[in-house]
Amino acid sequence: MTPEEIAKRYAAMLYSIDSIKEGMDTGDKDEETLDFVKRNVNHLEVMVAKDWWTTEDMTAVNKAIADGNAYLA
């Protein structure tokens, strides 16, 4: 992975963080909202496990995963 590719993947993760927050902020627990949050949490879980990250800060990513999973519980 080039630094540019890594930066692009990281930016996509930040978008998923925003999407999880957006879904949770609705307060809705309908099937559509839960699926939306779940898909974004799953994306982050897959991406954070990649071994090509360098110095990217995963604090917000890990928090979004935890918050999203708590919302889905």
Q: What is the pLDDT along the chain (73 residues), one digit of tens a residue?
A: 999 999 999 999 999 999 999 999 999 999 999 999 999 999 999 999 999 999 999 999 999 999 999 999 9
pTM (2 d.p.) = 0.94
List helix spans (H) across the chain: 3-26, 31-48, 59-72
Closest CA to 3 of 62, 53, 39, 38: 53
State the pLDDT at residue 49: 97
* CA distances for 18 relative to 40, 52, 60, 66, angstroms: 9, 23, 10, 14
Q: What is the pLDDT of residue 66?
A: 98
Q: What is the pLDDT of residue 53?
A: 97
How many angstroms separate the CA atoms of 70 and 64, rounded?
A: 10
